[in-house]
Structure 1
Amino acid sequence: MAKPLTKTQLVAALAEEMGVDKKAATSALEAVTSVITKEVSGGGAVTLPGVGKIYCRERPERMVRNPATGEQIKKDADKVVKMTIAKALKDSVNG
């Protein structure tokens, strides 16, 4: 399995793809990240065309088991961030 891109590598790739310098690419990446974070943390969802949909889902209160002791404990309700991958991306990986 290939190593994931680091932020530096991603910025360099974005700069090359956009035809701008790395400073502008870093600003663009940080702006996109900020918009996604604000929207999802507020309970909304963001669709990245060709990539997927990022959204927040609430998990109900539930019973979980401590693996060290086997003890059952109640875990409070919480929220998790989920991502559904777009069909176009799945097809490009599998095709």
Structure 2
Amino acid sequence: MGNTTTKADLVNTISHRTGLTKHETESVVDCLFESIIDSLKAGKRIEIRGFGSFNIRYKNQRLARNPRTGEKVSVDAKNVPTFKISKEFKHAVSQSLKV
């Protein structure tokens, strides 16, 4: 397994820690992800204390450049999901990675 944790890895870890079956755990994880997506689609901000916050950021229409050809292309305006890590999360991860 490389340096990537997959949804299946999360399900296995949570299942092991909670005693729930993998099927039950996968349902809970799927429901969490769907709830986050549904809230963002509805224009709601999600804040999970100690973890971070999900938000939607509006990006204006702009001109960009095709890196292959150098040609200018128009990029439509769009809503982009963003995630901002909490200070506690950032601190916990930075402490565990110190060598």
Bin of the TM-score, shorter chain as denominator length? 0.7 to 0.9
- Counterpart of 1:91 in structure 2 is 91
- Counterpart of 1:21 in structure 2 is 21
- For the residue of structure 1 that corresponds to 2:32, the secondary structure is helix
- Dislocated runs of 4+, deviation >3 Å: none
- Amino acid in the other structure paired with 1:30: D
Name the CA distance, whole Å, in 2 between partners of 1:66 and 1:23.
44
- For the residue of structure 2 that corresponds to 1:44, the secondary structure is coil
CA distances 1:24-72 after superposition (whole Å, capped 9, x unpaired) = 1111101111110100122212122322111111100111111122122
- Counterpart of 2:45 in structure 1 is 45
What is the TM-score of this pair, normalised by structure 2? Answer: 0.85
Name the CA distance, whole Å, in 1 between partners of 2:68 and 2:61.
21
**Between Structure 1 and Structure 2, how many residues are aligned?**
94
Q: After the TM superposition, which residues 59-70 of structure 1 pair with which residues of structure 2 at under 5 Å, given as runs? A: 59-70=59-70
Gaps of 5+ in 1: none
Give the RMSD, CA atoms, in angstroms: 1.4
- Counterpart of 1:6 in structure 2 is 6
What is the TM-score of this pair, normalised by structure 1? Answer: 0.88
Gaps of 5+ in 2: none
- For the residue of structure 1 that corresponds to 2:15, the secondary structure is helix
